[in-house]
Every structure is written in C-alpha cells, then in structure tokens.
Amino acid sequence: MPEVEVVRLPANVDTDAIVPGPYLRLPNREILPHLFENLDPGLRERLGPGTVIWAGPSFGCGSSRESAAACLRMTGIEAVIAPSFGWIFYRNAVNVGLAVYRVLEPCPVEDGGRIHLDPAAGEVVAAGRRLAIRNRHGVAMDILAAGGLVPYLKARGDVHAS
C-alpha cells in the first residue's frame, strides 16, 4: 500500500486555475510549467510521483478544456482526491487516465502530510482513519484501470472487429 504525500487544495479550484486560459494555445508539455500559476506559483514544483492532490468540493469546475486533466496527469501525481468534481473535468480525467477518487470526508491530514492510498481496497488511510473511495467500480474505473479511453478501447476486442 503506497504512502503518498498530500498537497491540499481548497474548494472550487476551477479549470482556469489549473491551466490559465492564455496558455491553451500551447501544446500540453509547454503548458506544464504554468500549471496552477495563478493559484499558487510554487505548487507545480510539488507535484509528481508519490504525491496526491486532496481538494475541496467541485475540483475542476469551469471549462471543458481537456488539457487541465492531461497536464495534471503529465506531472506524474498518483491521484486527485475530492468530495466532488466538475462533471466534464471528471470525464476528461478518466479519459486521459488521471486517477480521480471521490472521498466525501474532509482531508484529515495537514498539507504535506502523508497518507496511504489503496485504490485496490477502495480506501484511503489517513491519520489512522479508513476513508472509503466512493467511485470504486463501474465504467469510469474500468477506463482508468486501462490508462485512459484510447488504451481502453484498444484493449477492447470489438473495436477492431467492427
């Protein structure tokens, strides 16, 4: 069960806070250094393998830009945890293979604290508490497990058979 570091974010972090609008013309790898620039310029540096974002409700509300999810995935973070997500951001995240987990309880550790993330068991262990991941099963999780929609479709036999 991997231990990860938590980067805490507030409620209602919108897609514009994730990827500021003016950078949308750029390819994703060039957008990457500007991630969260307007929210917290130091934040991008903290995100990578071994970290998760734990945000308040409505993470990723706002526009439909897929680059918000795609760039977050490119940082290498393990997952984004929040009680709720913007509808389009959630599906974009799933489609690009960025793990998004709904945990209803507020984050029990401070920013920079460590938790155990155990998607297989469907839970997060934080400050000695076991908190359930609510979106454990279903289509979205199948797509996530495959690494995103394109790999998922690739793995499906009937795509080639049609």
By CB under 8 A, residue 73 contacts another protein = no
What are the residue ranges of helices labelled H in 27-115? 28-31, 43-46, 66-75, 87-96
CB of 5 to another protein, least distance (A): 29
By CB under 8 A, residue 162 contacts another protein = yes
Q: Three-class SS of residue 101?
A: strand
By CB under 8 A, residue 154 contacts another protein = yes
By CB under 8 A, residue 21 contacts another protein = yes
By CB under 8 A, residue 127 contacts another protein = no
Say which residues have a Cβ less than 8 Å from residue 141's Cβ, sequence separation at least 6: 135
Q: Given the complex with another protein, which of 6 and 97 has the nearer CB atom?
A: 97
Q: Given the complex with another protein, which of 82 and 143 has the nearer CB atom?
A: 143
By CB under 8 A, residue 36 contacts another protein = no
Report the Cα 100 to chain-centroid distance in Å. Answer: 4
- The answer to whether residues 129 and 108 touch, using CB atoms and an 8 Å cutoff, is yes
C-beta atoms surrounding 105 within 10 Å: 11
C-beta atoms surrounding 42 within 10 Å: 8
Q: Given the complex with another protein, which of 129 and 154 has the nearer CB atom?
A: 154
By CB under 8 A, residue 58 contacts another protein = yes
**Which residue in this structure is represented by tokens 């993470």?**
59
Judged by CB under 8 A, the residue of 54, 59, 90, 101 near another protein is 90
By CB under 8 A, residue 143 contacts another protein = yes
By CB under 8 A, residue 91 contacts another protein = yes
